[in-house]
Amino acid sequence: MKTHTIYPFRGKLGELISHGLSGTNADIDFIMGQLLSFSSVAVTRYVDYALSLVECQEGFERIKFYLFNGTQVQRNYASLYLNRMGEWEPVKEAYEKGLIDEIQAFAR
């Protein structure tokens, strides 16, 4: 398990970091809920960072759920997370089902 230096971030970033570190289903739902079609670039970066902090199995499985059941943007971020974790099989399956494109399938 990675160790994280906790900085006193506040606001949206601090909130998302807290959810990422906790990593429960509800936390992943909260994080993924920030990915709307009108989300700012800053929020998408915060979400990406928060997802990178998820290490527990429950959070991992919930992110994998979003790969197959989320909106397009949620599927893209789930794919990015799984690629970075070296979990190629679910990403390949989502790609073969047409849920993500080749750019997302091979992004890291």
Q: Give CA–CA dist 93/98, Å, rounded.
A: 9
Q: What is the pTM assigned to this prediction?
A: 0.88
pLDDT for position 105 = 84
Return the closest-CA partner of residue 62 out of 25, 23, 99.
Answer: 25
Quote the crossing angle between the two packed helices 11-22 and 41-52, to the nearest 10°.
30
Q: Give CA–CA dist 54/8, Å, rounded.
A: 18
Return the closest-CA partner of residue 46 out of 6, 23, 15.
Answer: 15
Q: Give CA–CA dist 2/71, Å, rounded.
A: 29
Chunked mean pLDDT (size 10), the chain, 108 residues: 64 94 98 90 96 97 98 95 95 96 82
